[in-house]
Amino acid sequence: MFRSLILFGVVTVFVTSCAPAAPRTAPAGGPVAGTGAPPQERTLTIALAFEPKYVSALAPTVSAAAGNFFLRPFNGFLDLIDDQNRPLPYLAEALPALNTDTWIVFPDGRMETRYRLKPNLVWHDGMPLTAHDFAFGFRVVTPATGFSTAGAPFSVMDEVVAVDDRTLIIRWKSLYPDAAVLQGGGSRLGPPPFPRHLIEESFLNDPLESFQNHQYWGREFVGAGPFKLDHWELGSHMDALAFDQHALGRPRIDRIRWQFIPDANTVAASLRAGTLHVALNSINFEQALQLKREWAGNNAGTGTFTATSLAAVVFQFRDFANPRAIRDVRVRRALAHGVDKQTLGETIWRGELTMMDTIFEPTRDYYPVIDRAITKYPFDPRASERLMNDAGYTKGPDGFFASPTEGKLNLDLKSGDGRPELPVLAAGWREVGFDAQESIVPRGLVLDPEVLGTFPALYLGVFGAHEVQQMTVLLASQAGSAENRWRGENRGGWINPEYDRLVQAFNTTLDPNERVQQRAQIARVLSEDLPKLVLSFNPNAHAYLAPVKGVTTPSLYTTGQLTWNIEKWELN
């Protein structure tokens, strides 16, 4: 039965549309050899399942960062994470080094990090990009203006100061071990530069309504990444041009067209027909796996998987939780024992992924310390029933858990469309005794902060995979509410003072060995109180045709971005 359920689609996938065969293109700056003709413009065509709301790396319009697809092509930062999760300087000449004049620790625990920007940096519109734009960016990206920046590194920063046009100083309130690498992998970002000449007036005049709804975040975006926005046809496509003055050099591909194609079958067929080059978040896991196997024998393309997020079930902790029993840790533990992760891994992910017990990556060298500290919940229907009995629930004649006072335990399991775990989880829980019913959030509401924070019982979703980002989203300060317009990544509203204290200590500890022990204690609290049930990495399924050269696929567990070096891609 489970195998028949997995045919529901999955995850982000990168596929491409290959344009019909074209004349040979010239090397950058020259005509086609032997023809004397002007160089042909090279256009990379990419399919997206959803039309984006914005392309800025950080925006005040939703409570999440930009996707993999726009973070690198359109945005520039001080540093850059490569395909092996290694930090590299980007707009900065070099990254700070501890115990040098670029990273100073003061006796009272405060710190300073210093950057020197590369010379002659400019925005996509040709205006100078200076240290003052970074200082302005830090002043802007606060939770009060709608940005999801309540956690590290922003919460640990005191101020960002532009000494001159090329010198930037970040002053830290306390010790912060990741101060030299503000992009921590995945989508954890440091202060972005924002063009003061375009949006400062709007921010000063109306930092909420006008600023948050400014077209700059989307159709009028001006950044510093390798590609600049040229044209946005709503409901159809978005064109981007190579940025000649990009800090890492002009991209080798002249133009990218992002096509919005919601039908995964259309995208897969277009790949096979060679009318698309790359697909991003536009085919499902099964289709990507089929392409990977098809192309293995003919070298027509490449199919592979990376991970920038985790799949997990979040529990509702707020007063309006329905049923109220979901706030009882015994019920949450019973649900955890009712998940057959082996079946999930084998039937949905075909053995491509390792199922997980915690937010921490199992391939890290320190993971054995964490593994010894956590409580695990192997599939055990008898353990589920014992826990439910302790919570006052027994199985009725229909086989479902019920309470003499609360009646049958009806559980609503919400998720966005296309999550393949949804029917498998619900069916598995029903077999164990939980009356779990699947509920799909309409496509237009999957990013709505209020929808994400007001689910009644269970929400199956994806969350940034990097460990620091995972820790941050569960802090009490990240809990959304009506008062803060439901902004914040703590979807279930879980609050645990011990957890907050441990994360705060982790974020201010420089000693690597001590940080390993802190990770273990954080993992212990999460496994005991279960604010969310971690399932596995969420695979981004990528596929690109053979004419696309220069793509280096990150290791599955590095949380790297496929587009990290998009300026080096070539189209033959």
Give the pLDDT band of residue 463 (cuts 50, 70, 90).
confident
pLDDT of residue 155: 86
Helix (H) or strand (E) holding 318: none
Name the least confident of 49-63, 96-110, 111-125, 285-299.
49-63
pLDDT of residue 188: 62
pLDDT of residue 162: 98
pLDDT of residue 462: 87
Closest CA to 465 of 311, 262, 253, 259: 311
Parallel/antiparallel/unpaired status of strands 532-545 and 13-14: parallel
Parallel/antiparallel/unpaired status of strands 111-116 and 103-105: antiparallel
Q: For 186-206, what is the mean pLDDT?
A: 87
The 3-state DSSP class for residue 444 equals helix
Token pair 């004049």 in the structure block, residue:
101
The one-character DSSP state at 287 is H
Write a three-state SS string for 488-516: CCECCCCCCHHHHHHHHHHCCCCCHHHHH
Closest CA to 247 of 129, 113, 168: 129
Give me the DSSP letters along 446-491.
Answer: TT-HHHHH--SSEEEEEEE-SHHHHHHHTSGGGB--TTTTT-SSBT
Helix (H) or strand (E) holding 231: strand 227-233
More confident residue, 431 or 361: 431
pLDDT digits over 505-555, tens only? 998 898 889 999 999 999 999 999 999 999 998 887 889 999 999 998 776
Give the pLDDT band of residue 557 (cuts 50, 70, 90).
low
CB 214 within 8 A of CB 150: no
Q: For 13-24, what is the mean pLDDT?
A: 34
pLDDT digits over 333-392, tens only? 999 999 999 989 998 998 888 899 999 988 889 999 999 999 999 999 999 999 999 999
Parallel/antiparallel/unpaired status of strands 43-48 and 255-260: parallel
pLDDT of residue 284: 85
Residue 556 has pLDDT above 70, yes or no: no
Write a three-state SS string for 47-98: EECCCCCCCCCCCCCCCCCCCHHHHHHHCCCCEEECCCCCEEECCECCCCCC
Question: Quick one: CA torsion of 483, 488, 492, 496, rounded to 10 degrees?
Answer: -90
Q: Across the chain, what does the average pLDDT equal? A: 87
Q: What is the CA radius of gyration of the chain?
A: 24
The type of residue at 266 is: T
Domains of the chain, start order: 2-58+214-306+540-571 (3.40.190.10), 74-200 (3.90.76.10), 309-539 (3.10.105.10)
Residues pairing with 403 in the sheet: 407
pLDDT of residue 105: 96
pLDDT digits over 131-189, tens only? 999 999 999 998 888 887 877 788 889 999 999 999 999 999 999 998 998 886 545 67
Helix (H) or strand (E) holding 196: helix 196-205
pLDDT of residue 422: 94
Give the pLDDT band of residue 30 (cuts 50, 70, 90).
very low
Residue 306 has pLDDT above 80, yes or no: no
Give me the DSSP letters along 322-387.
Answer: SSGGGGSHHHHHHHHHT--HHHIIIIISTTSS-B-SSSS-TTSTTHHHHHHHS----S-HHHHHHH
Burial of 39 (0-12, 13-18, 19+ CB in 10 A): middle
How far is C-alpha 288 from the chain's CA centre?
Answer: 20
pLDDT of residue 454: 95
Q: For 262-286, what is the mean pLDDT?
A: 91
pLDDT of residue 521: 98
CB 538 within 8 A of CB 344: no
- pTM for this prediction: 0.74
pLDDT of residue 421: 93
Closest CA to 263 of 15, 566, 571: 15
More confident residue, 1 or 153: 153
Question: Quick one: CA torsion of 292, 294, 296, 302, rounded to 10 degrees?
Answer: -40
Give the pLDDT band of residue 61 (cuts 50, 70, 90).
low
Residue 58 has pLDDT above 60, yes or no: yes
Give the pLDDT band of residue 558 (cuts 50, 70, 90).
low
